[in-house]
Amino acid sequence: MQYPEPIARLIASYMNLPGIGQKTATRLAFYTIDMKDETVNDFAKSLLSVKRDLTYCSVCGNITEDDPCEICADTSRDRSVILVVEEPKDVMALEKMKEYQGLYHVLHGVLSPMEGTGPEDINIPSLIKRLENEEAGEVIIATNASTEGEATAMYISRLIKPAGIKVTRLAHGLSVGSDIEYADEITLSKAVEGRTEI
Amino acid sequence: MQYPEPIARLIASYMNLPGIGQKTATRLAFYTIDMKDETVNDFAKSLLSVKRDLTYCSVCGNITEDDPCEICADTSRDRSVILVVEEPKDVMALEKMKEYQGLYHVLHGVLSPMEGTGPEDINIPSLIKRLENEEAGEVIIATNASTEGEATAMYISRLIKPAGIKVTRLAHGLSVGSDIEYADEITLSKAVEGRTEI
């Protein structure tokens, strides 16, 4: 005996999500059957809505309902600084800080020769074009501190420095509140390298 | 800055699922944005479909597209045995075995004084009614080997034994292929208790 068709299809749909295997998908599908009609309707609607109502900002590549996005359209922001991140989630994280007043550029990935991701596959060409047209004096590169993130930062830096634009990278070091004892060696060596006078 | 409304709503929807918190929900929502239109449409459709196209069998309480369900409607099955399980998932697990030819009864829960679940809250009354009308000679109780599962088995047994119906319980013992060394004490004591002559 197979699962009834509607459950089997829902299990298959849940299994399309990352980190969800057969067992979890089955559990979620049976849980869904017992959820309120309204909750499931809202769920289905919000799934369709993210595909229909969201788009990428034609300027910075961030995810948005309106093009250009809220940040690019905000004339009160400092247009001389562009902060480059890997993913839209990073923009949200940085905006939570409420201190940065410049603009963003979302790459949607990093350079990865292993996975065949070259500069044309991520938003690097649009960044270069943007720098040619806009009056940005500084580019802050905030890719993650992974091998690919570092390589992408180096690549972008070499590409735009000749144009006389200041290129900076977010500081790496110990997290605030963390113990030296538990820090990994790379973080520690970055922390020593980037030490400041007090 | 907040997440755009459509993402925020999808994150909230994912968070309604069991075991999915804010971080996982956010990851799933951003993953959904990058999924194919078709896949997301199918997902939304299958969500609505499980609520619309599935119902509980009026005879055994199993989840089904047609009422009565495939098993209850199958005249080739042995109508003298009813196997009582906690959840529809258990029916699927037992059917995979392909050996049992009798009928089922799905309780949709277990008795739990701690959570206020009494006999009227699960499918016990419908089981009693069914036994009054049908010619079942044996009831196999296959609730889980938890405290609540055992208590539910005892409760049902005391209720229907006086009517002269044979009541049995699935055997508990060592899993096939498992090591005695790693078995818990309760399983071991059940295995000794239920030993068979060879």
Q: Residues B102, B38: one domain?
A: no
> Which residues are CB-contacts of B151 (< 8 A; sequence separation ≥ 6)?
B110, B111
Tens digits of residue pLDDT in A40-64? 999 999 999 999 999 999 999 999 9
Do B42 and B95 reside in the same domain of the chain? no
Is the per-residue pLDDT at B10 higher than 70?
A: yes
Q: Which two tokens stand for residue A138?
A: 């500084």
From chain A, the residues in CB contact with B88 under 8 A are 30
Could you identify the residue written with the tokens 């790496």?
A172
Specify if A180 maps to a domain. Answer: no
- Whether A88 is covered by a domain: the verdict is yes
**Looking at beta carbons, which residues of chain A come within 8 Å of B31?**
17-18
Task: Say which of A29, A37, A89 has its CB closest to residue B26.
Answer: A89
Question: What's the number of domains chain B is made of?
Answer: 2
Q: How confident is the model at residue B29 (pLDDT cuts 50, 70, 90)?
A: very high
Q: Which domain holds residue B112?
A: 76-169
A115 Cβ contact list (under 8 Å, min separation 6): none
The interface predicted TM-score (ipTM) is: 0.79
Q: Which two tokens stand for residue B169?
A: 């319980």
Q: Rounded CA gap, A162 and B148, in Å?
A: 72
For the stretch A119-178, pLDDT in tens is 999 999 999 999 988 888 899 999 988 889 999 999 999 999 988 899 999 888 888 888
Tokens 């990073």 appear where?
A: A90
Compute the average pLDDT of residues B87-108: 90
In chain A, DSSP finds a helix count (H) and a strand count (E) of: 8, 6
The residue in chain A having the minimum alpha-carbon distance to the alpha carbon of residue B6 is A50
Taking an 8 Å cut-off on Cβ atoms, the answer to whether A49 and B1 are in contact is no
Contacts 24+ apart (CB under 8 A), B94-102: B94/B142, B95/A1, B95/B71, B96/A1, B101/B77, B102/B77, B102/B78, B102/B138, B102/B140
Judging contacts by C-beta atoms under 8 Å, the chain A residues touching residue B49 are 6, 9-10
pLDDT band at residue A89 using 50, 70 and 90 as cut-offs: confident
The amino acid occupying position B135 is E
Q: Do A50 and B6 touch (CB under 8 A)?
A: yes
CB atoms within 10 A of CB B61: 25
The values of phi and psi at residue B169, to 5°, are -130, 145
* Dihedral (Cα; B90, B91, B95, B101), 10-degree rounding: 130
Which of B3, B45, B46, B70 is the best residue to mutate to test the A interface, defined by the most A CB atoms within 10 Å of its own CB?
B46
Shortest CB distance from B48 goes to which of A1, A40, A89?
A40
Q: In terms of CA atoms, which chain B residue is nearest residue A95? A: B1
Query: How far does A119 lie from chain B, in Å, by closest CA?
Result: 19
- Please determine, for residue A1, whether its predicted confidence score (pLDDT) is greater than 80: no
Is residue A176 in a domain?
no
Tell me how many residue pairs between chain A and chain B have CB atoms under 8 A apart. Answer: 140
Contact A20, A14 (CB under 8 A): yes
One-letter amino acid of A80: S
Do B161 and B80 share a domain, yes or no? yes
Per-residue tokens: B56:
């509980």
Question: Do residues A117 and A153 share a domain?
Answer: yes
Alpha-carbon distance of B55 to B44, in angstroms, equals 19
Looking at the structure, tell me whether residues B131 and B80 fall in a common domain. yes
pLDDT tens readout for residues B63-81: 999 989 999 999 999 999 9
pLDDT higher at A47 or A189:
A47
* Residue A123 falls inside a structural domain: yes
User: Can you name the residues that pair with B117 across neighbouring β-strands?
Assistant: B112
Q: What is the DSSP string of A97-152?
A: T----SEEEE-SS--BGGGTB-GGGTTHHHHHHHHHHS---EEEE---SSHHHHHH
CB-based contact B47 A32, cutoff 8 Å: yes
**Does residue A140 share a domain with residue A99?**
yes
Residue B18 to residue A28, Cβ atoms within 8 A: yes
Q: Are residues A82 and A128 in the same domain?
A: yes
Residue range B156-180, pLDDT digits in tens: 999 998 888 999 988 888 888 888 8
Residues A82 and A143 occupy one common structural domain? yes
Q: Take residue B76 and report the two structure tokens written for it.
A: 């080739």
Find chain A residues with C-beta within 8 A of B71's C-beta.
1
- Residues in A closer than 8 angstroms to B65, CB to CB, are 4-6
Chain A residues near residue B122 by CB distance under 8 angstroms = none
pLDDT tier, A194 (very low <50, low <70, confident <90, very high otherwise): confident
Same domain as B115, residue B80: yes
Contact B5 A40 (CB under 8 A): no
Give the model's pLDDT for residue A184. Answer: 85
Q: Return all residues near B42 (Cβ < 8 A) that are at least 6 apart.
A: A9, A13
CATH at A19: 1.10.8.420
